[in-house]
Every structure is written in structure tokens, then in C-alpha cells.
Amino acid sequence: MGMFERDTDIYRDRDALREDYQPEQLVGRDEELDTYQTTLQPVINGEQPNNVFLYGKTGVGKTAATRYLLDHLQSDAAEYDDIDLSVVMLNCDGLTSSYQIATRLVNEFRDDTDQISTTGYPRAAVYDMLWNELDTNGGTILIVLDEVDHIEDDSILYQLPRARANGNLETAKTGIIGISNDFSFREDLSPKVRSSLCEEEIHFPAYDATELQQILQQRADVAFHESVLEEGVIRLCAAYGAKDAGDARQSLDLLMKAGDIARDDSAEHVIDEHVRQGRTSLERGRIREGIGGLTQHGHLVLYAVLTLDQQGKTPVRSRDVRPRYTSMAERAGINPLVTRRMRDHLSELIMLGILDVTERNEGRRGGTYREYSVSMDPELIISAMADTVELVGIHESIEKLLERESTSTLQDYQ
């Protein structure tokens, strides 16, 4: 027997729980899919496509619905000789400017040997190349800009939907499908961009527990061997999912985590306890990620509150966090922020669920103030911002915590 042995007792096809798995049918989205299909109908009629704006929180099926309908649209369009349909799907995560989007689009239409570099051209030149590529390609072109809220300037969101009206395109009929996780993105668009990009709008609401249960069941049937899931496991994952954000992705992740834990335990069944453990473990991962994504000042503010907490001084007011924060910033060789900005960091830490806050009343004099405390495992926090702790030095209040971490390489706080 080798070192690695295949274990297939739990999963039949684990990949079916992954985000990129495309289910054959979408469950519980009939109304949205109907609307979406209607907005795409002009493509089959050979007419100028509508621009569509899709919005809703993460994990509510926006990307899945788009892939699903565009797959159908492409195969149905192939039945008509007079329709020449091209689809380009671009995820804008990591592409922050209109310029980057435009160069990416140009390259989508070009051979590997003929790609343009993503810097160095005047923007107008890149747009000209884009119109040229689109017209050369011709036919109907649907351009999906997924996670479009990452684009920071709206030039391309104005130019692209209006390219034909502005006389930049002659032969190609383009339609833009913009997808956003963030509704405020739409509100922040200038009126002229909004009216061209958002001709049609489709909202994807969050899923409730029943819908999540159906989505999970559909995937579980493919992913797990028969009778591996104990009764109640799917219901529990769906209940947690509905409580968190109505996010199908998060629920699927939880089910997979529970399955992985069962597999590691060499269990025959996935049980509720595996789901609970999975949830704790995913939550830790999210916190770690949240802390990892903070700025240095965010870390310093958190470190300050954490040490006050370890000294039994929480809940603590921001004015009492301030001296600790200031001295830590100085140790790190960083200029401390003004009080108001420091408070913004406290608020961010609350939003991330790392700190807790209580509103208090001043009593008769009126006025309220906030008190902060730590709501996460302190060891987890320290390990997630080890760089900052190292830079500032180890505060005496956390020494005991660190003794347990024998591999610690952190320097003492002198």
C-alpha cells in the first residue's frame, strides 16, 4: 500500500460542491430567469440587444444564472443561420480601471501572438482598437462584465453601451451585461452612465432557508454517496446559510467543510456535529482573512484594544484606547491617526465582527458613548496580525498567551 490511499467512502464527486460547478438546472429562480430570458430575446430575433444590469448580494446565483442562460442562448442561436453570436465574459475583480477593461477586451478578440500590453497606450487609442476589433468580429456581441463594481472610473461603462449610438461601431451589435454585488454601485453611477448601462435591471434577492435547502440537496445528490448525509445535515447548513446572508456559496462551502471533516475523521456519515465544527473552522478562516485585509493602523487599533482586554480593562471607551494606540504606533515608527480616523478603524473592526460595541448613556447630561470589547479568540487575532505584533513588540499582557505558541518568533515589547 502506498502512502496515499484513495478515500471515496464519503464523496462520489466532491467537485460538485465547488463554486465553479455548473448545475444543469437552477432551482428557485424561475421568476428572475424569466425576466432575464426576456431581456435576451432580441438576440435571437436578430435585433440590437438590451444592456442589462444584474444586482444582488454575493452567492445569490447571478453568475450561475448568466452562464446558464448564455449557454442556452448560444446553442439556440446556432440554429439560426443569420445569427452570429459571440459572448465574452470578463470578471472585473482585479481590473480597476476602464483602461484595463478595454485592453482585456481587445485581447479577447485577438490572437495570442497579437496581444497588446496593458499599459502604455493613450486611452482613446485603446478604445479605437476595441471598436475596430468589435466591428471586425461583427454580428451580435454580448459582453458580460461580472463584478463590475470593481471598476473605479465609469468611462468604459458609458462608452461601451453607447458605442453604436455614438457612431463608433457600424457592423457589430453589442449588448452589455453588468453584474454587481453592490447595489450602491448603481446609485453612484452618473445619470448618463446609469441610463445607458441599466436599460434593464434584474434584482436577485437573497435565498431563504427553504431555497438553500433545495440548492444544497441538488448538489449533495451528485457530490455524496447515497445515505452518507445524516438526516438534518442539509437543513442545518441551509439554516446557517439563511441566517448569515442567504448566500448559496457560503452554504455549499459549509456542506463541503462538513464532508471534509467527516472524511478526516474516517466517519461513515456526515452528521450535525461535523457541520458545527465546519462552521467554526470557516468562521476562523473568515476572521483571519478579515484581519489580514486590514491596514497597519487597523492592526494597531486592534492590538491596542486586545491588550486592554487582556488586562481586564474592557469594555473600553475610544478615549481610553487612544493612549495605548498612540504609544504602539510610535513603537512601530508610524504617525498615529487623529482621533476621528482612529474611531473609523474601531467601527471597521466592529463590522468585521472582531470587536463588540455597546452604546451607553451619559445619564442626565444626555449624550451617548460607545464601549468596545474583543469578540474573537485573542490567540487567533494575534496570529492573524503577527507582523504588526512583531513590529510593535510583545505587550506584557499577551506574553502568557504566546508562551503556548512555542514556535513564536516574536520580539519582546521592551
Shortest separation between residue 314's beta carbon and ligand ADP, angstroms: 36
Our finding on whether 138 is near ligand ADP (CB under 6 A) is no
64 touches, from Mg ion, ligand ADP, none (C-beta below 5 to 8 Å by class): ligand ADP
**Residue 68 in marked binding region:** no
Shortest separation between residue 335's beta carbon and ligand ADP, angstroms: 39
246 touches, from Mg ion, ligand ADP, none (C-beta below 5 to 8 Å by class): none
**Residue 332 in marked binding region:** no
SS3 66: helix
Tell me the β-bridge partners of 412: 394
Our finding on whether 302 is near ligand ADP (CB under 6 A) is no
> Cα separation of 325 and 338, whole Å?
11
Residue ranges in 352-409 assigned as alpha helix (H): 378-384, 386-392, 399-403
Using CB atoms, what's the residue nearest to ligand ADP?
A: 61
28 touches, from ligand ADP, Mg ion, none (C-beta below 5 to 8 Å by class): ligand ADP
- Running DSSP on this structure, what letter comes out for residue 167? T
Binding residue count for Mg ion, defined by CB under 5 A: 1
Contact 214, 29 (CB under 8 A): no
249 touches, from ligand ADP, Mg ion, none (C-beta below 5 to 8 Å by class): ligand ADP
The cell for 350 is 466592529
Q: Apex CA 35: angle with CA 241 and CA 102, to 5°?
A: 85
Shortest separation between residue 104's beta carbon and ligand ADP, angstroms: 19
From residue 161 to residue 200, what is the string marking binding to ligand ADP with x (rule CB under 6 A)? ----------------------------------------
Residue 176 makes CB contacts below 8 A (sequence gap 6+) with: 51, 52, 142, 143, 144, 145, 157, 160, 161, 197
Query: Which residue from 173, 249, 263, 395 is in contact with ligand ADP, where contact means CB under 6 A?
Result: 249
343 touches, from Mg ion, ligand ADP, none (C-beta below 5 to 8 Å by class): none
Our finding on whether 376 is near ligand ADP (CB under 6 A) is no
Sign of the alpha-carbon dihedral angle for 338, 339, 345, 348: negative
Residue corresponding to grid cell 495570442: 112
Residue 191 makes CB contacts below 8 A (sequence gap 6+) with: none
Q: Apex CA 163: angle with CA 107 and CA 95, to 5°?
A: 40
Query: Which residue from 58, 74, 137, 326 is in contact with ligand ADP, where contact means CB under 6 A?
Result: 58
By CB atoms closer than 10 A (0-12, 13-18, 19+), residue 384 is: buried
Query: Which residue from 16, 40, 52, 64 is in contact with ligand ADP, where contact means CB under 6 A?
Result: 64
Beta strand pairing call for 200-203 and 52-55: parallel
Query: Which residue from 39, 63, 140, 250 is in contact with Mg ion, where contact means CB under 5 A?
Result: 63
Return the closest-CA partner of residue 107 out of 95, 52, 161: 95
Our finding on whether 90 is near ligand ADP (CB under 6 A) is no
**Residue 61 in marked binding region:** yes
The cell for 282 is 470557516
**Residue 301 in marked binding region:** no
By CB atoms closer than 10 A (0-12, 13-18, 19+), residue 174 is: buried
> Which region, judged by CB under 6 A, interacts with ligand ADP, from 60-68, 98-106, 124-132, 318-326?
60-68
> Cα separation of 327 and 335, whole Å?
10
Our finding on whether 250 is near ligand ADP (CB under 6 A) is no
What is the contact surface with Mg ion in residues (CB under 5 A)?
Answer: 63
What is the contact surface with ligand ADP in residues (CB under 6 A)?
Answer: 19, 21, 23, 26-29, 56, 58-64, 215, 218, 248-249, 252
Annotated binding site for ATP: 60-64, 207, 219
